[in-house]
Amino acid sequence: MVITTGMFNKKVSFIRHGVKVNSFGGRGGKSEEELFTCYAYLSNLRNSEFWESRHGSDKSKLRIRIRFTPKALKLNTKDCFVKIDDKTWNILSIENVLNRNKEFLMYLEYRDE
């Protein structure tokens, strides 16, 4: 895929959820920590990717591509999430494209609150 200037046009935020703790040590509501924000190229799943994803669940799936940043190396699929237009998405997988450290490809699944 050839990268052009206008491709990365959607702002995405990578977040981690935590728990608020009051001064007495009691747990309160959920807190949201923003790890970093960048621009991404969004695309829907196509062809065999789409049909394979439909076998597991009926949730919406999405593929995003971001440029390389060292902050993305610290992401994991267990407790990091992606926020796009105030919607939260689970990260299913993170791939370093051809191990060239130029871009990351991520598959996301819509997260029901």
CA dist 50 and 7 (Å) reads: 22
pLDDT number for residue 53: 52
Closest residue by Cα to residue 41 from 66, 4, 61: 66
Judged against a pLDDT cut of 70, whether residue 21 lies above it is answered with yes
Judged against a pLDDT cut of 70, whether residue 3 lies above it is answered with no
Which amino acid makes up residue 24? F
pTM exceeding the 0.75 threshold for the entire prediction: no
Report the mean per-residue pLDDT for the chain. 78
Task: Give the model's confidence band at 104: pLDDT under 50 very low, under 70 low, under 90 confident, else very high.
Answer: confident
What number of other Cβ atoms are within 10 A of residue 104's Cβ?
Answer: 20
SS3 52: helix
Of 22-31, 36-45, 54-63, the range with the lowest mean pLDDT is 54-63
Tens of pLDDT, residues 90-102: 888 888 877 777 7
In this structure, are residues 38 and 67 in contact, taking their beta carbons and an 8 Å threshold?
yes
pLDDT number for residue 101: 74
pLDDT number for residue 111: 80
